Amino acid sequence: MLTNAQNQSLDNFNRLEAVGKIPQNLLEIANSNESLKDKYEDNLRNQIKKFILSGKIIFGDEVSNYVNNIVDGLLRNQPKLRDEIKVYVIKSSKANAFATSNGYLFLTTGLIAQSTSEAELAFAISHEIIHYTKKHGYSLKDNFDDISDFLTYHSRSRDQEFECDREGYLDYYLKAGYDKDSPMGVYDILQYSYLPFDELKLDRSYFESEYYTFKDNYFLESVTPISSRDNYIDTFSTHPNLKLRRAEMEKLIEKNSNHIGNPFLQSKSSFELIRTLCRFETINQQIIFDNYVKAYYNTIILLQKFPNNSFLRTSKIASIYGISKVKTYGNYSRYLMTKKETEGQIQYIANFFERANKKEVALMAIRDIWEGVKKDSSKYYLALFDDIVKDLANDMKLDDLNKFSDLKMGEIYNEPASNGEENSNLSKYDKIKSSKIVGHQKGFRTENYMLGDFKKDENFILRFESALQKNEAKKASDLIKDLKDEGEIPNIKTLIVFEPITITFNKKGEIKKSSETNAKLSQRFETMVEKAARNNGISPIIMSNNCFDTSFSYQLRAKINDFKMSLNKFGEIYYESRDLDNYTKELKSPYLNFITLYKAPKADNNAFYKSTHTVMSAVFAYPFLPISVYQWTKQAYAAELNFLVYDLDNNSVVSNNTINYVSENTKDFEKQALDKSFKTINDESNSYNQYGYQGKRFLFSLGADIIPALFSPNIKGETGALMFDYSLNPSVEFVVSKSFSLGVGVSFMKTKFERKDNYSYSFPNLGTLDVFGYSLFLKSYKAIAPLGYYYKFQADYLTYTPNMIWNQQVYNNSTHNNYFVPREFNEKSYSLGFKMEYGKVFFINDYFQIGAGCSFGLTLKGWGFVGFDDLTLPEYAETKLRKAYMIGINLNIGILPF
């Protein structure tokens, strides 16, 4: 039986929180980045670090003090060992306990929530103390996807488990004065901890009212019995099954049959309080991790004992709100518990929510939320109410209270006969009201009767109508913004960036690198985030996921982490926003930002370009072959950046963006995606910097083409496989949209051309050709201009001047003899060229770009005055120009200043 003070503690419950400053030993773990030699110890240390940074470890509170009192009693005769043991509680719905080689002993709130006595906890702790004193090793996976995964899958060997059961029971448990039989209950916890707190049988009356009933198949006549799971075959397992452990423990109990002890050395009411607190926190964790059906059922169980508890009222509302959002926008069987996945009495409600349609569940949520509003008109309840009304209006076409009957399902209604004398005494407004009773209408179903009783509540009507008006106003505002092709951008100057995370997966879908465990990666990504924010006029305050910043309290960090984890996949009102009022003062900004970046390998879809570049380099331009080979070494990644900003003051989402891209040069795209995201929350951004790389759109480039001289001479007059001509091509490029840019440029080339029919010996074999061009081009980038792979379409206006000394034959009239006079031929000609280029560019920093590509082009027939009788000379020059323009491999460098 709980005392009045204990009941008061439960009435004020929001979440389990640590009390006081973070202990120095935990702070050292949180800020440690060196790798341990022992692989398993290193992995374990990293998991504990996650617990700390996520705020999952609690200390200094009632639960922690209670558990420490148990350890004090177990080790009262071993003060040295007691000093070595450091006991902490982890907030998790999983029932587990574990110890480390460094003397840290952890219990989960899930274990305490499922226990039935202090003695059971004492035995679990005694068991773990033996693991520590014997220095037993763990069997661990290399990587864990999350904290829950770790708490589920770490294990010991079977011999170690038997040893710890036996010695923990004899050396500590019995000597402390606990009763001999309670350890058997620990095996029940391990066997059935996946089940709710109790087996509470419900019937359909819990879901229905006198106004409406549901279909019969929503309700099961019987549920699947709870199966026993203690007898699995453990031939290939290192962990003994529970049946074997029970049998060994029964032998120990029999040998100590004369022992007299107590299941409670502290008061029973103290145990009941901490168990209830842990059950409340278990419900918290279930809601945070979207386990809404189990949270709903556990809440119903506890409401039997605490019917007026405000936390349970909120958790019930939050649970059914979550169920409603999944039914409306998600796949129920994917996200929530189904009939097939459950057993016992919880199966009854799992079947109900699985079969009920989204309208029915949304209206159940409205009913529960309104009952909460009547007791406490908190901003959280009202926000949930408005959000469900929005769903009813926008997604279910239930946008008018006249779509809900005022009658009960099946009620016989006879409209009263008109009484002229009585009617004459009614006001105009009373007459209107009496004529607006909504009766049974064709097409009405269960959902159309689910607000009949609430329509008698004037306050409900006013709130419902107000929510509809807000929804219509928002839709109108959104439409106007869409028509203007612009949204209202806030003016955020200071932003709290909470634990920006980047994770890279391997081809098997396993975590390859994570900023949560890799300090260098974390620092690089946080630096990138900070720079992107500052470039957009925002001062970021980054709370790192790799070290503990003592400028913020541990308790605040825990709240924000829970808030992050509670971000509903389908809803806009988050569970942990229910008590945001105190966040802003300590944070010094009302804007909270969450950034996650995921990357996974993707098959190469640019193999054609790479193959072409490699072949052309190998055959025509071997100096570029290392570049070609290098391009094959770059792995393409598919990446997704999630960027969310929440306004704590107004309990609303300011920005929620997801950017997907595929790239080999992921850093460039990461910077671009971050820049694009931060631009959505600062009104200093303008139309100019909406495009380009990090808002910069002018690119000045200098390109160099290598042109093979296989069949025509180069500038040195040499021909062959290893001979080349060179062209310089400065240009300026301007980004005009997300994927396109326009540019102009010039080109210079000096080479030789060959005149093969030197029939008169008036000409030397080789002439010099000077080519100057003006270009106009369009570049189409596969992802974001000016970044990554591109196609370039270019038109050139070319002037080319062949230079050759020839001997002009002159007739002397006086002597009647011919003689030769050397003259220079340098007449200018003109042509048009069209070229397509395929290439790739990347940035080596925020301003400098490097690119490579290969091109194919053709020139048209040249024109221009040639003041010479022999017109074959410019034709040879034109042929040389055509060959030089046909194939090219280029390398370019560029600068992007603004």
CA–CA distance, 560 with 566 (Å, rounded to integer): 10
Q: Tell whether 27 is covered by a domain.
A: yes
Residue 448 is which amino acid? N
- 607 and 748 in one domain? no
Can you give the pLDDT at residue 122? 97
Same domain as 712, residue 667: no
Look at residue 473 and tell me if it is in a domain. Answer: no
User: Domain with 748 in it: what CATH number?
Assistant: 2.40.160.20
Amino acid identity for residue 461 in this structure = I
Which DSSP helix (H) or strand (E) runs through 385? helix 379-395
Contact 671, 661 (CB under 8 A): no
Residue 215 lies in a domain: no
- The count of other CB atoms within 10 Å of the CB of residue 667 is 14
- Looking at the structure, tell me whether residues 17 and 166 fall in a common domain: yes
In degrees and rounded to multiples of 5, residue 195 shows phi and psi of -85, 165
Residue 474's Cβ-count burial label (10 Å; 0-12, 13-18, 19+) is exposed
Last residue of a domain, one of 308, 341, 356: 308
pLDDT at 142: 47
Among 605, 616, 553, 603, residue whose Cα is nearest residue 582:
553
Shared domain check, 718 and 649: no
Global confidence as pTM: 0.79
Q: Which residues share a beta bridge with 789?
A: 840
The answer to whether residue 426 sits within a structural domain is: no
Could you give the CA distance from residue 265 to residue 69 in angstroms, rounded to a whole number? 10
Which of helix, strand or coil describes residue 695? coil
With tokens 């709980």, the residue in question is: 2
pLDDT of residue 217: 96
Query: What is the structure's pLDDT at 539?
Result: 92
Token pair, residue 163, equals 């040893």
Chain segment 339-391, per-residue pLDDT in tens: 999 999 999 999 999 999 999 999 999 999 999 999 998 888 999 999 999 99
Domain count, the chain: 3
Judge if 58 and 133 occupy the same domain: yes
Q: In terms of domains, do 639 and 787 share one?
A: no
Are both 508 and 619 inside the same structural domain?
yes
Residue 471 covered by a domain: no
User: Tell me: the pLDDT tens digits for 464-480?
Assistant: 999 999 988 887 776 66
Q: Tell me the residue range of the domain where 527 lies.
A: 494-676
Nearest to 571 by CA among 297, 764, 329, 733: 329
* Co-location of 176 and 271 in the same domain: yes
pLDDT of 222 = 95
Indicate if 672 and 702 belong to the same structural domain.
no
- Asked whether residue 441 is assigned to any structural domain, the reply reads no
620 & 714 share domain = no
Q: 3-class SS at 533?
A: helix
Q: Are residues 526 and 656 in the same domain?
A: yes
Same domain? For 80 and 183 the reply is: yes
Helices 346-355 & 292-303 angle (0-180, nearest 10): 130
Domain-embedded: residue 685? no
Domain final residue, candidates 308, 334, 360: 308
Which ranges of the chain have pLDDT less than 50? 140-151, 153-154, 233-239, 428-429, 431-432, 867
Asked whether residue 24 is assigned to any structural domain, the reply reads yes
Residue type, 32: S
Query: Which pLDDT does position 883 carry in this prediction?
Result: 84
Instruction: Determine the straight-line distance between the first and last CA of the chain, rounded to whole angstroms.
Output: 72
Q: What is the pLDDT of residue 372?
A: 96
Boundary of a domain, candidates 289, 308, 327: 308
Who's near 673: CB < 8 A, 6+ residues apart? Answer: 597, 639, 641, 659, 661
CA distances 468 to 360, 385, 389, 393, 398, Å, are: 19, 11, 7, 7, 10
How, if at all, do strands 848-859 and 494-505 pair?
Answer: unpaired
